[in-house]
Structure 1
């Protein structure tokens, strides 16, 4: 849902709440409705501010000098309350503060550094692992660095920075047989079959020879036990 639609829906909700408040007679009911009114008004203010910021950026982007390069290198860590993203940009502390813009949403941020050494630098990171508090997130310009402070909505540790990274890690995890009583040799056999199928002729001959010798030893051992 785009920002204009969200604002329109919130405005309609506020109109309906005000209508209910005007028609209600019970004090307790009025208090409940007023609480909801305050929540809607707060969210509506945030959305309008975000819309204004985006409109301002759109109106100034056409006058930005130079070309825009993508920021790929960054570091991050976290505290109990914040996720911190460190972007190294030589000389960024020497340009006007208003040239360093960042827009936060609940699950993303968009950083734009304008006119640094004749170029613009941009970093857009979507699908953050967990939601963040938009109004309490901020940026700080330090010597040769921009620090983004993303306020966590919940004081819990992030295993990674984005949902994409999490999905990639889970995909790379080895499959574990949930059956604790499964024969350990089954996994080995599966691996050998895979190597045999994907291997070249030399690899196949080596595996076949090793398997034949193993079976011969097993057969001789069985004969000795009789």
Structure 2
């Protein structure tokens, strides 16, 4: 697969992720939210795989012969915090002694909706943090990393000065999940129905049963006999 093919796949997946996230924000029925959330996770997983594939392809195409073997094992970075200014979202990753290793051992790659940080050979192991679903898009070319004492600072350049309530879309959805359903009998948007039909068509038997059950229950509540096309 060429770099162009991978870029097209990533662009398509990012568009799908953005659309399904938008629909999740509008959807109020819990069962339908669960179906959409499941599909969103599948897209997010595939998107992460394609981005990793793109990085590997870029290294191969550049003819980079440096030693890319990670020493020891790799652990997930969990110790971090974040804040923001009008121009940047700043992620503070705490790693004791990170300033003592060669600067080239600290890698940071950015996409419009995410970043990947890899710190190699620190205390006999590598450390990695991957975020694929930032709340809003960032400017890749103007985003960067800085190495400070016992810390890696990730600077994500905002595309707008809009204030971020959360770091990622998943965090936002988690907060909104507990909001009360103000109108349980409201009809879903036409766009939501279109997505559900596509998920139903492409889904396995279990997915189809879940969607059927959610639809039947919603119709019973509304006391209507509309046919969803199943």
TM range, normalised to the smaller chain? 0.5 to 0.7
Alignment partner of 1:71 out of 72, 77, 81: 77
1:142-157 pair list within 5 angstroms? 142-157=148-163
Partner residue, 1:128: 134
Residues 147-204 of structure 1, C-alpha deviation per residue, up to 9 Å, x if partnerless? 00000011110110111111111111123469xxxxxxxxxxxxxxxxxxxxxxxxxx
Q: Does 1:5 align with 2:15?
A: no
Listed as ranges, the gaps of 5+ residues in structure 1 are 10-47, 179-226
Change (3 A) 1:176 1:2: farther
* Aligned-partner Cα distance in 2 for 1:100–1:86: 14
Aligned residue in 2 for 1:84: 90
**2:146 aligns with one of 132, 140, 147:** 140
Higher helix proportion? 1
Runs of 5+ unmatched residues, structure 2: 10-53, 185-230
Distance 1:123 1:175, change over 3 A: same
Q: 1:123: how far off?
A: 0.3
Partner of 1:102: 108
Cα distance in 2 for partners of 1:140, 1:54 equals 26
Name the residue aligned to 1:161: 167
Q: Distance in 2 between matches of 1:106 and 1:96?
A: 27
TM-score (norm 1): 0.54
- In structure 2, how many angstroms separate the alpha carbons of the residues matched to 1:144 and 1:153? 29
Cα gap change, 1:66 to 1:96, in 2 (>3 Å):
same
**Matches of 2:94 and 2:62 in 1, distance apart?**
26
Which stretch shifts more, 62-71 or 103-112? Answer: 62-71
Moved over 4 A (4+): 6-9, 48-51, 53-62
1:104-149 CA distances to partner (integer Å, 9 max, x unpaired)? Answer: 0000101000000000000001111110000100000000000000
Distance 2:63 2:135 in 1: 26
Q: Secondary structure at the match of 1:65?
A: coil
How far did 1:67 drift? 0.7
Equivalent position SS for 1:164 = helix
Q: 2: CA distance between counterparts of 1:169 and 1:146? A: 28
The 1:8/1:132 distance shift into structure 2, 3 A limit, reads closer
Alpha-carbon distance between aligned partners in 2 of 1:55 and 1:78, rounded to the nearest angstrom:
36
The equivalent residue for 2:118 is 112
